[in-house]
């Protein structure tokens, strides 16, 4: 990382940013082109969960190429200045790499959906069994991640 003073090294802070995030930008590779898609996400214990319809480009890519990159950000704010080069952006972000797993176990699917719904403030009980056959629940097992912020983490108020 070029701007070392902006790096977030504390794993607890990185996990806090993931737990507070609602949207994850998921980067994949279809063998020819990169493909990035935003997904609603939930985080728990080194894993990101999201759901999708079982069919579609995203799921097709993940079946063939499960290695992914992800990005979340928060507190994004443009800070203006008098001159164009005086402007900056405040932000907190996490970028990571991992392996996407299409969850097959019904108990883990339900657990993943509860993690997702808990993050978004929705009900965690009352899932209808008839929704699950058409639903894919995807777990990203995080291999590595880094964080960055402006202002630097040690200046957060």
Number of domains in the chain: 1
Q: Is residue 152 part of a domain?
A: no
Confidence of residue 120 (pLDDT cuts 50, 70, 90): confident
Look at residue 64 and tell me if it is in a domain.
Answer: yes
Q: What is the pLDDT of residues 7-45, one digit of tens each?
A: 888 999 999 999 999 999 999 999 999 999 999 999 999
CATH number, position 51 = 2.30.110.10
Q: Is 62 helix (H, G, I), strand (E, B) or coil?
A: helix
Residue 69 lies in a domain: yes
Query: Which domain range does residue 30 map to?
Result: 4-147
User: Cβ–Cβ contacts within 10 Å for residue 52, how many?
Assistant: 17
The residue behind tokens 């800070």 is 79
Decide if 93 is inside a domain: yes
- Asked if residue 153 belongs to a domain, the reply is no
Residue 157 is predicted with a pLDDT of 54
> Can you list the alpha helix ranges (DSSP code H) found in 21-144?
57-64, 106-120
Instruction: Answer whether residue 154 is part of any domain.
Output: no
Output the average pLDDT for the chain. 91
Sorted by sequence, the CB contacts under 8 Å of residue 150 that are 6+ apart come out as 6, 88, 89, 90, 91
């Amino acid at each position: 990382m070029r701007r070392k003073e902006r790096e977030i090294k504390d794993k607890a802070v990185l996990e806090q940013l993931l737990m507070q995030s609602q949207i994850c930008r998921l980067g994949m590779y279809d063998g020819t082109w990169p493909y990035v898609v935003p997904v609603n996400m939930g985080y728990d214990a080194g894993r990101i969960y999201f759901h999708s319809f079982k069919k579609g480009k995203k799921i097709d890519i993940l079946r063939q190429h499960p290695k992914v990159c992800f990005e979340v950000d928060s507190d994004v704010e443009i800070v203006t200045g008098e001159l164009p080069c005086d402007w900056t952006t405040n932000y907190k972000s996490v970028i990571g790499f991992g392996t996407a797993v299409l969850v097959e176990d019904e108990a883990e699917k339900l657990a993943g959906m509860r993690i997702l719904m808990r993050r978004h403030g929705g009900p965690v009980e009352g899932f209808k069994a008839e929704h699950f056959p058409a639903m894919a629940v995807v777990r990203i097992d995080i291999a590595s991640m880094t964080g960055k912020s402006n202002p630097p983490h040690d200046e957060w108020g």
